[in-house]
Amino acid sequence: MKKFAFACFICCLFLVTGCGCDQKRNSTPIKEDEKEKTALQDSGKLPNKKVNGLSFTKTSISYVEDMSTFVSMVKNTTKKPITVEVIEVTIKNNRGKVLTVVPGFLSGTLEPGEEKPFVAYINMDLSAAVDVEYKF
């Protein structure tokens, strides 16, 4: 009787633990652009963009004390002065979902080759941001 009880115990143990076998994991390979977006998200940096003669570089988002800070350097890459009053910034996550749309203000005129910092403060967590679009 003890042998039968011991055998039943061992069988139940194997059933519960899966006999020590590894289960196949359903893993989907990560695409290169998703790897790049994940790396950008982890670093807090966003991709450089060029829109209508303005170059947006060194773009990043930091999140501290319930406030996200968006920073980008804006440079006039044309041979003519550019005046922009409002820049609409669309911030997206790695799935392309819009996290927020922020109006930003760039004071004054950018002369050819001139570069100015563009800063916006947003009272939400944008640490999942990996892409940005600009309209003006």
* pLDDT tens digits, one per residue of 35-91: 444 434 444 589 999 999 999 999 999 999 999 999 999 999 999 999 988 999 999
Is 38 among the domain residues? Answer: no
Q: Which domain holds residue 51?
A: 45-135
Is 131 among the domain residues? Answer: yes
Q: What is the CATH number of the domain that holds 59?
A: 2.60.40.10
Is 39 among the domain residues? Answer: no
pTM, two decimal places: 0.66
DSSP letter at 45? B
Is 96 among the domain residues? Answer: yes
The total number of structural domains that make up the chain: 1
φ, ψ dihedrals at 84, nearest 5°? -130, 125
Is 12 among the domain residues? Answer: no
